[in-house]
Chain A
Amino acid sequence: MRTMVIQIRSGTMMNMDTNIAVKLARAALDKGYGVRMFGYGEGVTLIKKGQDPKRFPNVGNETKELVEKGLEVVVCETCCKARGIARGEEIEGTKIGSLTNDLSRFVAEGDRMVTLAR
C-alpha cells in the first residue's frame, strides 16, 4: 500500500495547518492510501486529549476518528515534555515517540512526504 507522510509543525490553534493535515489525511485514507502523520514543535498539540475549541473545528476529534480509520500519528516526546504534555495525555491510538525512531522510519518507508509549514 503506497503511503503519504504528513509532517506538521504548527499548533492546532495557531492557523489552519492541522485542519489541512486532517483533511488531506482523510482524503488519502478514503482513496486507500496509507497515511502517517508526524508532529513536532507546536505540532505535538495535535494529539493532546481533551481539546475543546469553541467555534473552531475540533482537530483532536477528527484525528481520533481518522486513527480509527487507519491513520498513524506520532509526535515528538522532547517537544511534548517541553510543553508539559506527559505520556498518557495523548489521544487514544496516537503515540508519543521520536524524530529518530518514528519520523525517520516514516520518511524511509513513505512514498510521498508533505510538509505543512511556513
Chain B
Amino acid sequence: MRSKLFITLKSPHDLGDLELVRALAKGSRSGLLLLEDAVIFAANADLGKELLGAVQDVYVIKDDWEARGLPLANPGFKVVDYPEAVDLIMERYEQTITV
C-alpha cells in the first residue's frame, strides 16, 4: 500500500471527524502535515492523541505555528520548515491527500 501524506489547513473545529483519514491510512505508512489553522491541533494534547491514532506521524509547519504563538502539547509532533515539508511531499511519502 502506498505511503500517504495527508495535508490539512482546517482548524480542529472545521476538520470534523478523522474517520476519512483513519480509513484511507489503514495499512499504510502515513503522516499528516498541519498548515494554517490546523496547527491548533498541536496545542491540544487530547486532539493530538486523536491524530496520532489515525496516522503514525504528525508534522506542524513552523511558520504558522510560530505566527500563532502556540505551545507544543504533543511532544510526538514534529515541527518542520518548508524545505522539510518539500522533502516529506517529494521523497518520504508516495502520495499526498488534502482533507
Q: Which residues of A contact B (CB under 8 A)?
A: 2, 4, 15-17, 20, 23-24, 26-28, 30-31, 33, 111-118
Contact = CB atoms under 8 A, between A and B. Distances in A.
Contacts of A118: 9-10, 14
Given A117-B98, A118-B9, A17 B86 contact: no
Nearest to B95: A112
A86 B23 CA distance: 44
B74 interface: no
Given A27-B83, A118-B10, A112 B64 contact: no
Contact of A15 (B36, B85, B95): B36
CB-CB nearest 9 A-B residue pairs: A27-B82, A115-B98, A28-B86, A27-B83, A27-B86, A23-B82, A112-B89, A16-B36, A114-B96
B35 interface: yes
B90 interface: yes
Given A114-B98, A117-B98, A33 B35 contact: no
Interface in B1-29: 7, 9-10, 14
Contacts of A111: 90
B63 interface: yes
Given A31-B90, A118-B9, 13 more contacts: A4-B90, A15-B36, A16-B64, A20-B61, A24-B85, A24-B86, A27-B81, A31-B83, A112-B95, A115-B7, A115-B96, A117-B9, A118-B14
Given A114-B98, A115-B98, A117-B98, A4 B86 contact: yes
